[in-house]
């Protein structure tokens, strides 16, 4: 199945009754590039780590943009079998339908085979509003914390909500 588009994502939100707002901006590829937008977009801003363990299990870890993660020990928290490494861009596109720089928790909409475990860092979930790319890195979409969980449940993902940041 081809990857879903922003329009598909927004239609899904609408069908689920999820309020969402999107701010368009020039493409951003890093947290540093996106920080100039903070004053315009309230809420928790995210960064995402697409990780793979030695047995081929994949994880999407979504954290606050300035969170620090120990990649040498995160596997003990998220249930990975051994140390993790970054997943290859080809696997990212195949499973989540996004490119590096556009990785987002909203890409769960493309993981219809449920091959990726979604991990939400607990401090991020303290925010009432969560922000992420709507499958492309030229916009930021805001949804409520509880609505994010509704969306993930709709995609068939029960996220692990854990404190993975230090």
pLDDT tens figures, 149-158: 999 999 999 9
Decide if pLDDT at 31 tops 70.
no
The pLDDT of residue 34: 62
| Overall domain count for the chain | 1
β-pair partners for 61:
49, 119
Closest listed residue to residue 157, CA positions, set 10, 57, 59: 59
Closest listed residue to residue 163, CA positions, set 73, 58, 101, 92: 73
The pLDDT of residue 53: 96
Looking at the domain assignment, is residue 46 inside a domain?
Answer: yes
Q: What is the CATH number of the domain that holds 34?
A: 3.90.960.10
pLDDT tens figures, 100-127: 989 999 999 999 999 999 999 999 999 9
Domain, as residue range, for 92? 6-162
pLDDT tens figures, 39-89: 677 788 899 999 999 999 999 999 998 999 999 999 999 999 999 999 999
Q: Any idea what the Cα angle at residue 164 is, between residues 98 and 86, rounded to 5°? A: 40
- DSSP class of 42: -
The pLDDT of residue 39: 65
Place of tokens 């930021």: 140
Looking at the domain assignment, is residue 128 inside a domain?
Answer: yes
Decide if pLDDT at 37 tops 80.
no
Looking at the domain assignment, is residue 1 inside a domain?
Answer: no
pLDDT band (50, 70, 90) for residue 32: low
Looking at the domain assignment, is residue 106 inside a domain?
Answer: yes
User: What's the rounded Cα separation, in Å, for the pair 143 and 102?
Assistant: 17
């Amino acid at each position: 199945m081809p990857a879903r588009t922003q329009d598909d994502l927004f239609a899904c939100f609408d069908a689920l009754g999820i309020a969402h707002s999107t701010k368009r901006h020039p493409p951003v590829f890093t947290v540093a590039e996106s920080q100039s937008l903070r004053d315009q977009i309230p809420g928790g801003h995210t960064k995402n780590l697409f990780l793979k363990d030695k047995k081929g299990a994949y994880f999407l870890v979504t954290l606050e943009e300035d969170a620090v993660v120990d990649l040498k020990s995160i596997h003990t928290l998220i249930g990975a079998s051994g140390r993790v490494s970054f997943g290859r861009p080809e696997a990212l596109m195949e499973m989540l339908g996004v490119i590096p720089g556009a990785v987002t928790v909203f890409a769960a909409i493309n993981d219809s085979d449920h091959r990726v475990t979604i991990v939400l860092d607990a401090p991020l979930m303290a925010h009432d509003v969560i922000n992420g790319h709507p499958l492309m890195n030229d916009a930021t979409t805001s949804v409520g914390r509880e609505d994010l969980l509704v969306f993930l449940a709709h995609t068939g993902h029960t996220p692990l909500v854990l404190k993975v940041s230090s």
